[in-house]
Amino acid sequence: MDRLTLERRQVWLYLSTIIAGLLVGSAWPGVGRLFEALLWPTLIVLLYATFIQVPLLHLRDAFTDHRFLAATLTGNFLILPVLVWILVQALPPDPALRLGVLLVLFVPCTDWFITFSQLGGGNAARAIAVTPLNLLSQLLFLPVFLWLTLGTELSAVLGFSEVWPALLVVLVPLLAAAGSERWIEARGRGAVLRERLAWWPVPLLALVVFLIAGAQVGAVRGALGQLAVVVPLYALFLLLAALTAKGLATFMRLPADQGRTLAFSLGTRNSFVVLPFALALPAGWEIAAVVIVVQSLVELFGMVFYLWWVPRKLFR
């Protein structure tokens, strides 16, 4: 099996590991503490293996195509945040539920959107070039978006004592990946290491969702009714994201391959980068992490539809 085949079928792997985690967590309730302890180092390794695929030292490449860059930044950091805020108003007034949805829908994906762009006839070079800018922009804008939408309600539950461990989980792999990229380019022989690490994100993310499902089985049971509400919202978001890409591509006069890339950029979200922040929330807010995992599953099923719809109907 090659890596593209693995990534194309990853949704079934994640679904299987979630079911396995729920079964293990139900059979052995005491395993939750062990799973929570294993979750943080697994997330660090996952983020490192993901970030090292991002050309962090080539930020200037994103500015070579100003029209595509403008469309990407406008869609991801102006139009979609407004749409997300509107969609969230339809959710039950549960702050933990709304925070989880906002966390995951506010941030564009920086990894598998490149794969889906390639599979969907997009411009892989443009996708790779814009990825580091998307990553840095979301780290900058996410606190602003959350403050604007939640305000004092957020600061009451997510203070500095809860934020700094989650920040370390994100920043340490990010800095390590940047250092590794510099070493790879200086030595000229590290491409093999990067290629091997490219296989890691899918199995590591499967392990992460297994650990979350096993540790949060009680939260999942208590939130089944709420999950039935967020799934249609996530599906609607995917539809609106693609239509937004179509409108922006038409307005910016982008070629079809760049329009497809834009659709995959707007449709995919960075679920496991925001997971540390959801997991750092205090007791009683576990639903935030659960709805983030659910979003990744809905998104992957949505990408199966995107791979047919985007190149054949939306951007012929």
Residue that wins the pLDDT comparison between 114 and 265? 265
Contacts of 18 (CB under 8 A, 6+ apart): 209, 210, 213, 293, 297
CA angle 66, 69, 75 (to 5 degrees): 135
Whether the predicted pLDDT of 162 surpasses 70: no
Most confident of 10-24, 66-80, 160-174, 214-228: 66-80
Whether the predicted pLDDT of 2 surpasses 80: no
Q: How much is the pLDDT for 227?
A: 83
Q: How much is the pLDDT for 175?
A: 92
> Which CATH architecture fits 3-314?
Up-down Bundle (1.20)
Q: What is the pLDDT confidence band of residue 89, given thresholds at 50, 70 and 90?
A: very high
Give percent above pLDDT 90 in the chain.
49
Q: For the chain, which residues make up each domain, given as ranges?
A: 3-314
Answer yes or no: are the C-beta atoms of 98 and 87 closer than 8 Å.
Answer: no
pTM listed for this prediction: 0.90
Most confident of 9-18, 226-235, 239-248: 239-248
Answer yes or no: are the C-beta atoms of 288 and 100 closer than 8 Å.
Answer: yes
Q: How much is the pLDDT for 252?
A: 94
Answer yes or no: are the C-beta atoms of 267 and 260 closer than 8 Å.
Answer: no
Answer yes or no: are the C-beta atoms of 120 and 311 closer than 8 Å.
Answer: yes
CA gap 92, 98 in Å, rounded: 8
